[in-house]
Amino acid sequence: MPKVAFIGAGSMVFAKNLVGDILSFEALKDSTIALMDIDEHRLAQTTEVAEQIVENSQIDATIESTTDRREALDGADYVLNMINVGGTEPFENEIRIPEEYGVKQSIGDTLGPGGIFRGLRTIPTMLDIARDMEELCPNALLMNYTNPMAIVCWAVDEATDIDIVGLCHSVPHTAEAIAEYADIPLEELNYWVAGINHMAWFLECDWDGQDIYPLLEDATDDEETYRKDTVRFELLKHFGAFVTESSHHNSEYLPYFRTDEDLIDELTGTNYAERMSTATYLEGWKKRSEERDDALTGVNPDDVSIERSEEYASRLIHSIETDTPRRLNLNVRNEAGHIQNLENDACIEVPCLVDGTGIRPCSVGELPPQLAALNRTNVNVQRLAVEGALKGDRDVVHQAVKLDPLTAAELDLDEIHEMTEELIAANKAYLPALD
């Protein structure tokens, strides 16, 4: 049975859920789970809970635990990556410094100055992991959960021979939201979604043969429903499609929503408001991080059991190992023109057919031109962030930030240059050498 290596297993609650997901399948219950993290305390907590899951469930799975990445990777069939390089300090710099210049990010992990610099500090470690895999488990599938998803996957795909796929729960979570807004059963919702990570589009969405979009447009007119997801309803109104990820996420990928205080006040809604303040989000993130540190402390071993979450990783492994057909939305290279009007080297998110033969991305054809155009504004930034990281080119990093839609809407070119230099100086210890 397969060996599954978890790199960054100190992400305790997430790792615990993924362990439970894998072992929830009868065909995978004697898998070997190799947990690896550089934080011994967090690793020990995750290991203790994983071992308790195995014991309570009386299954034959093997739990291994190590701080040695190469040991975890040796002979692996699948590698789940969930690392966070640098921790709180660089993340806070990536939020605070742009905020001082007037660039108010909401999350800062996908695009914008935050996403670009998170990518810059993550890519070197990701390449180290992939190069270890080339030596120790060259045929293993690298399954990435770390953001910025597109930038990280693009860099690994560009610079190594390792097969990488990006996993994200934004599509099923958005489906849940659509079902709620349209007041229909989630399990009866059918959809076809494509674009890029965190900005993919529900191109088709129906229930019992009925197009859902008229119901979503009606929901937009309901003030209470509109306030739950103001930015996404605005994008639906102006561009004709419902987008993945929440309003607070999408507000920072575009130039429209975070620069004018009157508009911010007008669009403040249930989910947008709590993330509109960068300081509020940052403090909330730090608090949640502290809570996660102790999340598994004091867990009653008798209460630990196998449960299956909505995450894709276990389903993907199960499909490949047992030749069980599934369709999952995954992040892959657009090398065969799966989306014809996006660049072939871009990292895209499309429906993929998965079974014992592996992963086969579906052909989507062309996105509606306005949706492809919005995607390209993000792909342009991703491309230069990857090039800047792989070449260590300072000028290209500057150009990536200058092309970011939100940053460009707020600052002039000289201000962006100054801000980028400050970010490079503040986070130098975490970045590749930049010439």
**Taking Cα atoms as reference points, which of 85, 167, 89 lies closest to residue 123?**
85
The DSSP line for 325-369 is -EEEEEEEE-TT-SBTTS-TTSEEEEEEEEETTEEEEPP-BPPPH
Please measure the distance between the N-terminal and C-terminal CA atoms of the chain and give it in whole angstroms.
Answer: 46
In this structure, what token pair is assigned to residue 411? 């600052």
Instruction: For residue 167, give Cα distances in angstroms to 95, 348, 352.
Output: 25, 11, 12
d(CA 333, CA 337) in angstroms, rounded, equals 9
Helix axes 112-136, 394-403, angle to 10 degrees: 130
In this structure, what token pair is assigned to residue 152? 């990280």
Among 41, 169, 198, 249, the active-site one is 169
Amino acid at 238: H
Beta carbons of 298 and 48 less than 8 angstroms apart: no
Query: What residues contact 336, with CB distance under 8 A and at least 6 apart?
Result: 344, 361, 363
Residue 206: is it exposed, middle or buried by C-beta count within 10 angstroms (0-12/13-18/19+)?
A: middle
Q: DSSP strand E in 15-61: where?
A: 32-36
Annotation says 169 is catalytic? yes
For CA atoms 207, 213, 217, 219, give the dihedral sign. positive
Beta carbons of 130 and 297 less than 8 angstroms apart: no
Residues serving a catalytic function are 169
